[in-house]
Amino acid sequence: MTKRNNLLIFILTIGVFGILNTEMGVIGILPAIADHFHVSVSKAGWLVSFFALVVAVSGPTMPLLFSGINRKKVMLLVLGVFVLGNIVSIFTSNFTILLIARLIPAFFHPIYCSLAFTVAAASVSKEEAPKAVSKVFIGVSAGMVVGVPIASFISSAVSFEMAMAFFAFVNVIVFIATLIFVPSMPVEEGLSYGTQFSVLKKSITWLSIVTVILLNSSIFGVYSYLADYLKTVTNMPSNTISLILFVYGGANIIGNIVGGKLLTKNAKKFVASFPFVLGIVYILLFLFGQFTLPMAFITLIWGILGGVGGNINQYWLASSAPEAPDFANGLFISSCNVGTTIGAAAGGLFISEMGTQYVVLVGILSLILSLVTILLRNYMYSPTKQLSI
At 285-300, the pLDDT tens digits run: 999 988 889 999 999 9
φ and ψ of 313, to 5 deg: -55, -45
Those residues with Cβ within 8 angstroms of residue 187's Cβ, 6 or more apart along the chain or in another chain:
67, 68, 69, 70, 71
**pLDDT confidence of residue 293:** 92
pLDDT at 128: 80
User: What pLDDT does residue 271 have?
Assistant: 92
Residue type, 284: L
pLDDT at site 386:
42
Where the chain has pLDDT below 70, the residues are 1, 28, 42, 189-193, 382-389
3-state SS record for 53-100: HHHHHHCCCHHHHCCCCCHHHHHHHHHHHHHHHHHHHHHCCCHHHHHH
pLDDT score at 100: 94
User: How many CB atoms are located within 10 Å of the residue 13 CB?
Assistant: 22
Q: Using an 8 Å Cβ cutoff, are 343 and 219 in contact? A: yes
Nearest to 76 by CA among 186, 172, 188: 172
